[in-house]
Amino acid sequence: MTTDRVGQADDPFGTAELRSAVLAAWERSPARFREDANTEEDHGRGYYRDRVVVELAQNAADAAARLGEPGRLLLRLTDDGAGGATLLAANTGEALAASGVASLASLRASAKRPSAPGDARAPGSGQDTSVERPRLVGRFGVGFAAVRSVSDDVSVVSAGGGVRFSVEGSRAVLAGAVARSSGLRTEVEARGGSLPVLRLPTPLGAGITTPTVTIPTATPATAYAATTTTPAVPAGYTTAVVLRLRDAAALAAVRAQLALLDDALLLALPSLGEIRVETDGDVRVLADVVSRWIAVTRTGAVPSALLADRPVEERSAASWSVTWAVRCDGGGRGRLADDGVVHAPTPTDEPLTVPALLVASFPLDPSRRHVAPGALADLVASEAGRALADLALLVPQPLELVPTGLPGGRLDAELREAALTALRAAPILAGRLASGTVLIDGDVGDALVDALSVTGLGVVSVPAKHRAAARLLGATTMSLADVVDSLPAGLTPPQWWHLYDALAPYVDGDRTVREALGGILVPLADGTTTRGPRGLVVAGPAVAALGLRVVHAGAAHPVLVRLGALAGDDPQVLALPAVEAVARDLADDLLDSDVEVAEGWPDDLAALLALLAGVAENPEHRETREPLGHEVPSWVGSLPLPADDGSWRAADELAQPGSWAAEHLDLAVVDVPDRWAPLAATTARILGVREHLVVRTVDEHLTGQGARLRGDDDRRSRDENPDQQVSGWDEYDDYLTAVLGADRPVGDLRVVADLDVVHDDAWGAVVDVLTHEPDARAALLTPVRPLDALGSAQAEPRREGSGSGGEAPTAVSYTAWCLRDVLRAPFAAPAAASRADGVQRADGVHGAGADAGLGVVLPAAPAELAGVVDDRVLEALGAIRDVTDLETFLSVADPAGWDAFWSGLPEVGAPVTMPVARAVWSALATAAAAGLELDPLPGRVVALQGGVPRVVAADDVVVAGEPMWAQLRAVVPVADPVSIDEVADALDAAVADASVVAVRASEDTDERSVPERLALVVGRTSDTFPATWTIHDELVVDGTAVEWWVTTDGGVHVAASEIPEVAAARGLAQAAGLWASRHAIEIVLRDAGRAAEITAENAWDRTAVSR
């Protein structure tokens, strides 16, 4: 029996009896001492080595649970800096009692027995309650052993007293026992001072009387004495546990454990409502955990069969509990736990990869670090899976709770499988099971997902980081193109509109998406649905009367236009067959009939005008001066409108009231009755109602092959060419063929229309427009040139007509061609006009005023050009300033220009200056070579008669290529032998022929030899130059005396004169084909000695030729 005893101090918790029982057992069986010491060491330094703070919190939670009120825990770490550090753990709840002290002093014999649901206290507690309170956490009474990991001196105190557990107290108590038991002494000495502490509590404030026996110590021995003071319990708390920390390592361990405390401990110990941590003067309070966490707790009964393999003291725990929780911030968004272990309820070493905090009543092994496998653990894991699915319904991002990757262990794998099974059966994706949802592959916005919600496809929005989790739960992935293809019918027009709006950002992205959108369903105004927007019209209800397939107004979204539908103001609507058919029927029914004022606009015509009004108000067309542009078909101009003569007229045959066209063009005027809806000017313009001169475009074409006006649509027949709306086009195309050649490609041509309906007195106004209005001016001044192989206009020559030196031929514009005909060009340039380029001509003439000879053959400028000083305009209109202008003008194979010129010649006999005559003859040869066909033939021409150019009756002239004919006839000289027949054909005149004339020469002759050196002078050999020439006293051809003549046999004959060499030189020059050398020949004939001189001078002529 032990002999230690408590002094006079009170022992309210019966520690003496506890010590006596323990010492008696150890004395009887020293091995039991060894077992208890090793067990305490295993718990303190092994299983619970890093859990002292958690275990103290667990005890505080159990104390609070016994009273059924939220508990508070104070953890205060103090360090005096001299190696004296203390951890104080003060808690509220049930105070320290004898049973509690006995529990603390025992091993695996806790007073906190598991109780059945409804009992808050262990059996025999003396308190019965029907209120279910939080279940107790401690199960074996071993958790308190964690204090031994950091302390050798622990005090527990309440208002009723306290107890102390210390190495020094155990040494003092053991002194008497080892004196009585040699076996015990051996065991104690074997431990070298490492003694058990928790089995031998002593009351605070009491000393122990023991025999004087020496027991080894691990540290220098100190006399054991009762503490002189009892640690104070902080105000507001019930019980305090005070640990004198063993050393610096213990202090560091406690400090680290305090730093790790967070909300997870409060969630694991729901009986605690607050934990206050005071460390080195810093204060941290954990409380209100519910406000920062989203949690789900589920409980249930444990079938008794599942407890059969559990320790006896656990078999009374007939219920299970599971709590899942995730953190949330002020906005309520879930943020996941990061400790990554299972809590049961305090942290274990079981890894957890499910991204949430789990607190569950798993059965634990004795170390309380691992879950004991078995049926009970399987049940809790299965229920944990279902509870996680419940939590997923509460958090904003449920997919964050889905475990992905690899499991961390056996229990984690079981929990993950249970969780996945439950999550697959929970409607966590937009209120749907994941297996019934669709994820759109790629990055799509929430707006599209929202719009698709009405389709029944189950499309949900899932961030990229959660897509793997959604697929793990059974979600299906589809491309956006496949989703579009799967869209069902039956949506309302507004729902379709929102869907189109959401799809709009993806139209210009992936090609497959655009192709799918091209076949999307579209509701129509007639209540039906069609696939694909192409060919549909997005417009108001008025156009439905025209037989168009119109998109329902509630679904009319701009994206349909991007996908191929036509906007109501798009000119392409006018090209739809249904619209054209209505328009042509209206034209057939109404044109040229009387307007019935009382009936108003015909319904179909009103619908068409409404459609056209939308097109006209389109910003792309509102300001155009070309109402029938490229996008507007030509039949629009045939729409009937009421005219001022009381009939229906085609729109493009009418003028707008009060406009320039109404004043200057011979057109009827639009006259809409007062009681009818007015016709807007913009609508009238797009219909082709004239306000001004209209500039049109003729498409690129081949000369002589016909052309098409811009704006013609593909359904027009090929025989509808520009001549139907541009007067004289066929004749102009003939002109282009004559100037540029047949089948030559020319680019788009700008032309001024309506020139055929200009009032006779309005041409001055037309010229004013052509001079000052940019589009009309360009249509007048832009020449026409053939295109090269690359489709570009060839190099531009300076003047109209056939090019030279490799330059491309150039024709004047259609507008200039027409105006020249109207103004009877050519005509003399007004006196006020001057050359814009200031070029001095070879003949020294600047303008018409300086070259008086032009005034003989040209009329004065017409009155319509009074005041026009624009040189380019005048040139385009046919004004002639000098002989070069005249030659250029007439060199074109344009019968109209030549007819105007011939008609403007003065009476027969009028003299013409030689520069003017030479320009006319040169131009005539050029034009004839280009195929000039005069119709009618001229009555008067310019010819050489009697050695003087003059106006001669056309019937009196012949075309001559030899100068000798000027002595005999009125001739049109042609220098190029190749051109003689062409000019004759153009004038329908005879060609001079020496073989049909009668030559009579006197027989008195004087035949003279040609000097041998003369052939060398003119660059010929003697066998290619006449050797002789003959002088006759009289020389007559067809009854007319001539000075010289060359017979058909090449003989040169000269009439006798004082200086016969002059006539002989002309005959020899013509006979040798060297007319330009006649003067040199004359010099040598008269003075053969000058042959060397003339030959030397000719060197420069030859040099010039060689170049």
DSSP 1007-1029: EEEPPHHHHHHTT--GGGS--EE
Is the pLDDT higher at 975 or at 800?
975
For the segment 760-775, the average pLDDT, to the nearest whole number, is: 95
489 exposure class (CB count in 10 Å sphere: 0-12, 13-18, 19+): exposed
Q: Give the residue from 735, 678, 733 showing the smallest Cα distance to 707.
A: 733
Q: How many CB atoms lie within 10 A of CB 389?
A: 23
Q: Is the pLDDT of residue 58 over 70?
A: yes
Helix, strand and coil in the chain, % to nearest 5: 40, 20, 40
1102 exposure class (CB count in 10 Å sphere: 0-12, 13-18, 19+): exposed
Measure CA 528 to chain center: 33
Q: How far apart are CA 45 and CA 296, in angstroms?
A: 35
Bridge-based pairing of strands 202-203 and 293-301 is: unpaired
pLDDT tens digits, one per residue of 919-973: 999 999 999 998 899 989 999 999 999 999 999 999 999 999 999 999 999 999 9
pLDDT tens digits, one per residue of 436-478: 999 988 888 889 999 999 999 999 988 888 899 999 999 999 9
Q: How many CB atoms lie within 10 A of CB 85?
A: 23
The two structure tokens encoding residue 631: 């996008």
Q: Is the pLDDT of residue 314 over 90?
A: no
Q: Tell me how far apart the 2 most distant CA atoms of the chain are, in Å.
A: 197
Q: How confident is the model at residue 542 (pLDDT cuts 50, 70, 90)?
A: low
- The answer to whether residues 785 and 820 touch, using CB atoms and an 8 Å cutoff, is no
CA-CA-CA-CA torsion sign (176, 177, 183, 188)? negative
Helix (H) or strand (E) holding 285: strand 282-287
For the segment 138-151, the average pLDDT, to the nearest whole number, is: 73
The two structure tokens encoding residue 446: 């929430």
**Beta-ladder partners of 295:** 325
- The answer to whether residues 635 and 582 touch, using CB atoms and an 8 Å cutoff, is no
Q: Is the pLDDT of residue 220 over 80?
A: no
Residue 704 DSSP SS3 = coil
- Kindly give the residue spans of alpha helices, DSSP state H, lying in 632-784: 660-664, 681-687, 729-740, 763-772, 774-781
Does residue 649 come out as left (phi exceeding 0), alpha (psi in the -120 to 50 range) or beta? beta
For the segment 117-144, the average pLDDT, to the nearest whole number, is: 42
Q: Is the pLDDT of residue 766 over 70?
A: yes
Q: How many CB atoms lie within 10 A of CB 673?
A: 14
Q: How far apart are CA 582 and CA 578, in angstroms?
A: 6
Of the listed ranges 131-145, 352-366, 608-622, the one predicted with least confidence:
131-145
Report the pLDDT value the prediction gives residue 543, as an integer from 0 to 100.
Answer: 74
Q: How confident is the model at residue 631 (pLDDT cuts 50, 70, 90)?
A: low
Q: Is the pLDDT of residue 846 over 70?
A: no
pLDDT tens digits, one per residue of 1006-1021: 999 999 888 888 888 7
**End-to-end CA, the chain:** 151
Q: Is the pLDDT of residue 336 over 60?
A: no
Q: How far apart are CA 675 and CA 118, in angstroms?
A: 94
Report the pLDDT value the prediction gives residue 793, as an integer from 0 to 100.
Answer: 59
Report the pLDDT value the prediction gives residue 573, as an integer from 0 to 100.
Answer: 85
Is the pLDDT higher at 1051 or at 509?
1051
Q: How many CB atoms lie within 10 A of CB 944?
A: 24
Look-up: residue for tokens 């956490």? 137
Residues with Cβ within 8 Å of 405's Cβ and at least 6 positions away in sequence, in order, are 353
Q: Is the pLDDT of residue 725 over 80?
A: no
633 upstream amide cis, omega within 30 of 0? no
Domain 5-116+132-215+233-277, architecture per CATH: 2-Layer Sandwich (3.30)
Q: How many CB atoms lie within 10 A of CB 781?
A: 18
Cα angle for residues 588, 591, 593 (degrees, 5° grid): 115
- The answer to whether residues 238 and 159 touch, using CB atoms and an 8 Å cutoff, is yes
Give the 3-state DSSP-derived string for 379-413, with helices as H, strands as E and coil as C.
HHHHHHHHHHHHHHCCCCCHHHHCCCCCCCCHHHH
Report which DSSP code applies to 216: -
Q: How far apart are CA 61 and CA 48, in angstroms?
A: 18
Report which DSSP code applies to 533: S
Residue type, 1055: A
Q: How far apart are CA 262 and CA 268, in angstroms?
A: 11
Predicted model pTM? 0.57
The two structure tokens encoding residue 549: 């397939």
Q: Give the residue from 557, 515, 516 showing the smallest Cα distance to 536.
A: 557
The two structure tokens encoding residue 190: 């074997």
Residues with Cβ within 8 Å of 1100's Cβ and at least 6 positions away in sequence, in order, are none
pLDDT tens digits, one per residue of 979-988: 999 999 999 9
398 upstream amide cis, omega within 30 of 0? no
Strands (E), 961-1039: 970-973, 990-991, 999-1001, 1005-1009, 1028-1032, 1035-1037
Domain boundaries, given as residue ranges, for the chain: 5-116+132-215+233-277, 288-424, 434-515, 570-690, 693-822, 999-1106
The two structure tokens encoding residue 297: 């707790």
265 exposure class (CB count in 10 Å sphere: 0-12, 13-18, 19+): buried
541 exposure class (CB count in 10 Å sphere: 0-12, 13-18, 19+): exposed
The two structure tokens encoding residue 150: 């950091």
Q: How far apart are CA 508 and CA 650, in angstroms?
A: 43
For the segment 172-179, the average pLDDT, to the nearest whole number, is: 88
As a whole number, the mean pLDDT across the chain is 84
Q: How confident is the model at residue 1052 (pLDDT cuts 50, 70, 90)?
A: very high
Residue 699 DSSP SS3 = coil
Report the pLDDT value the prediction gives residue 138, as an integer from 0 to 100.
Answer: 47
CA-CA-CA-CA torsion sign (822, 824, 829, 830)? negative
**Beta-ladder partners of 275:** 73, 286
Q: Give the residue from 887, 907, 1005, 920 showing the smallest Cα distance to 953.
A: 907
Residues with Cβ within 8 Å of 864's Cβ and at least 6 positions away in sequence, in order, are 763, 764, 766, 767, 823
Report the pLDDT value the prediction gives residue 771, as an integer from 0 to 100.
Answer: 95
- The answer to whether residues 236 and 132 touch, using CB atoms and an 8 Å cutoff, is no
Residues with Cβ within 8 Å of 834's Cβ and at least 6 positions away in sequence, in order, are 846, 847, 871, 881
Q: How far apart are CA 436 and CA 427, in angstroms?
A: 9
The two structure tokens encoding residue 88: 């104080």
Helix axis angle, 814-822 to 763-772, nearest 10°: 150
Q: Give the residue from 457, 555, 564, 478 showing the smallest Cα distance to 514.
A: 564
Q: How confident is the model at residue 219 (pLDDT cuts 50, 70, 90)?
A: very low
Q: How far apart are CA 734 and CA 705, in angstroms?
A: 10
Q: How confident is the model at residue 214 (pLDDT cuts 50, 70, 90)?
A: low
Strands (E), 753-823: none
pLDDT tens digits, one per residue of 884-915: 999 999 998 889 899 999 999 999 999 999 99
Residues with Cβ within 8 Å of 252's Cβ and at least 6 positions away in sequence, in order, are none
**Beta-ladder partners of 973:** 960
Compute CA distances 447 → 450, 459, 466, 509, 690, whole Å: 5, 12, 19, 17, 50
